[in-house]
Amino acid sequence: MGMDQTTHRFLMNRRRALACGAAGFAGLSLRCSGSWVDSLLSLGSSEAPADVFKGDAPDAALWALWQQRGWIKEASHYLKLDRNVQCKVCPNNCLLAPGDRSHCRNKVNKDGTLYTMVYGNPCTFHVDPVEKKPLFHFLPGSPTFSLATSGCVLRCLNCQNWEISQKKPEETKDPRGPELRFRPPLPSTLTLDEFSRLSLFPDDAVAVAVALRCPSISYTYSEPTAYYEYACDTCKLAREHRLKNIIVTCGSIEDRPLRDLAQFVDAAHVDLKGFNDEIYHRLNSGKLQPILNTLKTYQELGIWFEVINLVVPTYTDDLEMIKRMCGWLVQNLGPDRPLHFSRFNPQHKLDHLPPTPVEILIQAREVARSAGLRYVYLGNVRDVPDAQTTFCPQCHRAVIERDVFSVTRFGLTDGKCSFCGTRIPGVWGSPQAKG
């Protein structure tokens, strides 16, 4: 995706430049006019750009290797501010002087142009059951080709994938050596050295997903918003090949890029990390409102999505807050939107906390059901027999049973409860029940 109409050159006034903390923007021109200035000002005074890595662009030698490999591509959805740039993909709105690296670590301003460095450059990929995303009402029992690059737009203290999400691209891949593309026919093994120089461009990802008989591609593990251009192009190509696209996201994305991407999205899994802006700031370095906006946009667009809430002791285990969150979900997304409560395990910067008590999760499920949500699941628990069971809201019989990431019993016929005929919301294929 090249520069589009959101990529505009305009000049920024001095007051706004100072308000943005743009110390490195001494050369900025000081005129402003037109709708793009309004657009920038509409960020609002509380929307100051996030911290960025000053002067942290790769050196010339590494940049040349990265370019040679094809992993550098001009970004989309950004503004040119003389020689400085502002990314408009997520609410961080990174303001970058030449040589700066973005908050998500994946983008740099090179001589006045914003580039992504992770195009066709995933640091990991796997075939997962779709239940692992988790998505319980979307093509159950199907495998999904799952990929991720380095980087994330958030800084969650509890991140379970921090070893890739809080890394720069060059800390996860090294382009030295001959080029190697991952595409059919697939090698039976890969050495670490080979993996390190592996490219997986959109056409490769689609060909691999088809070769592995995966009906979908998932953009997951870290945060697709941080590899937006790569995800968008892969989604478009996947759609052309009748593959489904699954976005697993924190939901922190601006409206325009979300709508552009959503044209090619078939399902999403959105992480609602809490229902308190102060906790969002402290736990995730994020903001609540953009996530709520994203949920409402997916709802408006009619794209299938499910919501996950990780219950973190002392941060997001307040049942009153959970009650308010569930009330909002019912009111804005309806009672049929699946909600997954997930159990926290000690990791990253919260390794001093205990795992979430299972009793708290069971209470949270009761709160959610009392609020009116019909499909509430518990994740990362082994000792609650019906934690992952779908119950018919009409006859209350178990219609889909799961064990870890497998469907063990599937009791729907044409998307309806096979006992009473009530329609169960979701996108149902022909699942392979195991067990």
Under rule CB under 6 A, residue 399 binds ligand SF4: no
Cis check for the bond before 184: say yes or no (omega within 30 of 0). Answer: no
Query: Angle at CA 296, nearest 5°, toward 293 and 300?
Result: 135
Strand partners, 145: 127, 217
Q: Which of 161, 220, 225, 285 binds ligand SF4 (CB under 6 A)?
A: 225
C-alpha–C-alpha distance, residues 311 and 297, integer Å: 24
Under rule CB under 6 A, residue 283 binds ligand SF4: no
C-alpha–C-alpha distance, residues 111 and 108, integer Å: 10
Using the minimum distance from each CB to ligand SF4, give the nearer residue, 252 or 342: 252
Cis check for the bond before 185: say yes or no (omega within 30 of 0). Answer: yes
CB 61 within 8 A of CB 46: no
Instruction: Mark the segment that binds ligand SF4 (CB under 6 A) among 58-66, 84-92, 266-274, 348-356.
Output: 84-92
- Give SS3 for 349: helix
Would you give the DSSP letter of residue 58? P
C-alpha–C-alpha distance, residues 291 and 255, integer Å: 11
**Contacts (CB under 6 A) with ligand SF4, residues 104-163:** 104, 107, 153
Q: Which of 7, 76, 84, 93 binds ligand SF4 (CB under 6 A)?
A: 93
**Contacts (CB under 6 A) with ligand SF4, residues 236-275:** none
Q: Which of 28, 57, 72, 90 binds ligand SF4 (CB under 6 A)?
A: 90
Q: How, if at all, do strands 180-181 and 339-343 pair?
A: unpaired
Q: Which of 103, 110, 337, 365 binds ligand SF4 (CB under 6 A)?
A: 103
Using the minimum distance from each CB to ligand SF4, give the nearer residue, 93 or 390: 93
Using the minimum distance from each CB to ligand SF4, give the nearer residue, 76 or 146: 76
CB 326 within 8 A of CB 363: no
C-alpha torsion angle, residues 68, 71, 76, 78 (rounded to 10) = -80
CB of 85 to ligand SF4, least distance (A): 9
Under rule CB under 6 A, residue 87 binds ligand SF4: yes
Under rule CB under 6 A, residue 226 binds ligand SF4: yes
CB 417 within 8 A of CB 411: yes
CB of 225 to ligand SF4, least distance (A): 6
Written as six digits, the tokens of 351 are 């390794």
Instruction: Mark the segment that binds ligand SF4 (CB under 6 A) among 92-100, 170-178, 241-249, 258-266.
Output: 92-100
CB of 56 to ligand SF4, least distance (A): 13
How many of the chain's residues bind ligand SF4 (CB under 6 A)? 13
C-alpha–C-alpha distance, residues 73 and 1, integer Å: 8
User: Cβ contacts of residue 140 below 8 Å, gap of 6+?
Assistant: 130, 131, 400, 407, 410, 428, 429, 431
CB of 160 to ligand SF4, least distance (A): 20
Instruction: Mark the segment that binds ligand SF4 (CB under 6 A) among 103-111, 202-210, 320-328, 388-396.
Output: 103-111
Written as six digits, the tokens of 210 are 């088809």
Instruction: Mark the segment that binds ligand SF4 (CB under 6 A) among 90-98, 318-326, 375-383, 403-411.
Output: 90-98
| DSSP H or E run through 79 | strand 78-81
C-alpha torsion angle, residues 377, 380, 384, 388 (rounded to 10) = 30
Under rule CB under 6 A, residue 102 binds ligand SF4: yes
Instruction: Mark the segment that binds ligand SF4 (CB under 6 A) among 98-106, 136-144, 323-331, 419-427.
Output: 98-106
Under rule CB under 6 A, residue 295 binds ligand SF4: no
Dmax over Cα atoms in the chain, in whole Å? Answer: 70
HSE-up (13 A, CA, CB side) for residue 161: 18
Using the minimum distance from each CB to ligand SF4, give the nearer residue, 94 or 209: 94
In 282-381, DSSP assigns E strands to: 304-311, 339-343, 376-379
Task: Write the binding mask 189 to 218 for ligand SF4: x where contact by CB under 6 A, - elsewhere.
Answer: ------------------------------
Using the minimum distance from each CB to ligand SF4, give the nearer residue, 107 or 337: 107
Q: Which of 57, 65, 81, 89 binds ligand SF4 (CB under 6 A)?
A: 89
Using the minimum distance from each CB to ligand SF4, give the nearer residue, 89 or 268: 89
CB of 391 to ligand SF4, least distance (A): 39
Q: Which residues bind ligand SF4 (CB under 6 A)?
A: 87, 89-90, 92-94, 102-104, 107, 153, 225-226
